[in-house]
Structure 1
């Protein structure tokens, strides 16, 4: 098995403070998540002392197995912590609810687009026929695409940590798609959990989806704007993504040129017969034809 690199994703140094959640990193480092007291009391799921101790014990054992490289054993222990943690929904149910919500959003957006196109055509027909519509104009402002969120009482910071830790084991076992799912659940359970976005960014990059990796890295930086490591990761991914887009543009232009040449070839011409010439006075371009090329 190849080693999973976590370069650019270790956020903090290891701490031994009792009030910290130590999340061991891919590659042997660690992240310490300090347990901060919230400014306002939030609604917490029913979570008695014995359940809390049991979940934390499973997590502790999982961390110990992770440290020595027993990733499958660590995966099982983090799963035990997840299953012992009281929650209204399972991870699979949370992802299903998100998919249903997103599908509804897409369906409603498509319906609005169709109605807008119908109104536009009707307005053009009325204009051609000299008819003035008596209906008040409807706003053409596009509706924002909403994102799925759990209700406050269904969010769970501790459960988010367990899912995120399990995602680390999946990354080590090179199960990156499964790691993405656990990171998705973690981020939904705690949308302010920086580590969930950092780890999901790493999984996206392993799957060569630099666009998604960059999006998550930027989200992590918004949550922790003073983190120099995340900032460097964003800069690195921005460079990779810019190079990818430039390459894609060149490939697209090449295909368009081939298509144009295939069509012009019927007339004994090619795109080389046409040249864009800039007017030095106006800065605009004119197309010049050169028969000799």
Structure 2
């Protein structure tokens, strides 16, 4: 017999080999059930990871939104602060403007009060009718007392004038005029003349002329007031008025040298002034005439003005070609 016959049958040997091969594979390969559980676990872990990632993403978005909201809120607060600052600046500016307007209004009121007071004082000084009405109730003794007070103020003003304090002198003469009764016209004339001298030094020439005029009205023969007004007229280029006053001075005092020299000097100055004014007037008229005649192709050279030496009158002759006549 062969060796196969002596041993186990061939089929049994093949079955044994297959069984051994099967169990050897069992040791290496995982069971199917185990692989399925691991796959499910991996899927669960993947889903859990995705969920965690989504949660992290949502949380990041929330944080970003919260951060953006905080920045917007901060921007809104800054804008509100700027608006409040602008409103406060506008309010301060309005308050400053209101204060300035109030100051200007107050200054205007003070100026009006000052002008009104000055006007009232001037009216009191120059309005004899008003002063007489005020002094109507005064007794003769009271009038004499006021006149003495005014003399004291006049002497005070004279001392101030000599000391060169012309402003205080002007005020003293003014107070004296308010006190001096109207019936003492000559004393009042002196006060007006003295105040005119003080105002002349203060540069108030027009007011000084008014004071001199008032003094002359109170005392027409007051030579000093006439002479002072004449000098003021000459300084303000009112030469004709100055010459008239100088002549009046000479009528009352022929030995007054200042007035005599002025009466010799002023006529020539007046003539020169009149000639100058006439030339200026003729030049302006010529310019105006040329402006009117230019559209017609003419000029003032087409008209010749001749003066009659006997009568002093003027005649005008038309010249067709003035340039040809000059050849």
57 and 269 in structure 1: CA distance in 2 versus 1, 3 angstrom threshold = same
Deviation string for 1:24-70 (max 9, x for gaps)? xxxxxxxxxxxxxxxxxxxxx96865444433322222212111101
Contact 1:275–1:288 (CA<8 Å) still a contact in 2?
yes
1:81 pairs with 176, 184, 188, which one?
Answer: 176
The CA deviation at 1:210 is 2.6
Q: Which moved more, 1:74-83 or 1:183-192?
A: 74-83
Q: Does 1:274 align with 2:274?
A: no
155 and 190 in structure 1: CA distance in 2 versus 1, 3 angstrom threshold = farther
The CA deviation at 1:193 is 0.8
Q: TM-score, normalised by structure 2?
A: 0.48
Name the counterpart of 2:216.
187
Contact 1:167–1:178 (CA<8 Å) still a contact in 2?
yes
SS in 2 for 1:168: helix
Q: Quick one: distance in 1 between partners of 2:184 and 2:152?
A: 21
- Matches of residues 164-179 of structure 1 in structure 2 within 5 Å? 164-179=193-208
The CA deviation at 1:279 is 10
Contact 2:157–2:169 (CA<8 Å) still a contact in 1?
yes
The CA deviation at 1:176 is 1.2
Q: Quick one: distance in 2 between partners of 1:156 and 1:279?
A: 53
66 and 271 in structure 1: CA distance in 2 versus 1, 3 angstrom threshold = same
Deviation string for 1:213-269 (max 9, x for gaps)? 333333333332332211212333333322221111111111222222223322322
Name the counterpart of 1:6.
none
Name the counterpart of 2:159.
64
264 and 81 in structure 1: CA distance in 2 versus 1, 3 angstrom threshold = same
Q: Quick one: distance in 2 between partners of 1:187 and 1:277?
A: 46
261 and 75 in structure 1: CA distance in 2 versus 1, 3 angstrom threshold = same
Q: TM-score, normalised by structure 1?
A: 0.53
Name the counterpart of 1:287.
317
The CA deviation at 1:163 is 0.8
210 and 285 in structure 1: CA distance in 2 versus 1, 3 angstrom threshold = closer
Q: Quick one: distance in 1 between partners of 2:156 and 2:297?
A: 75
Q: Does 1:210 align with 2:246?
A: no
Comparing both structures, which one devotes a greater share of its residues to helix? 2
Contact 1:51–1:85 (CA<8 Å) still a contact in 2?
yes
274 and 77 in structure 1: CA distance in 2 versus 1, 3 angstrom threshold = closer
Provide the aligned C-alpha RMSD in A: 3.1
Q: Which moved more, 1:265-274 or 1:176-185?
A: 265-274
Q: Quick one: distance in 2 between partners of 1:278 and 1:200?
A: 38
86 and 202 in structure 1: CA distance in 2 versus 1, 3 angstrom threshold = same
The CA deviation at 1:271 is 2.4
The CA deviation at 1:170 is 0.5
The CA deviation at 1:173 is 0.5
Q: Quick one: distance in 2 between partners of 1:230 and 1:279?
A: 36
218 and 270 in structure 1: CA distance in 2 versus 1, 3 angstrom threshold = same
SS in 1 for 2:255: coil
259 and 211 in structure 1: CA distance in 2 versus 1, 3 angstrom threshold = same
Name the counterpart of 2:294.
265
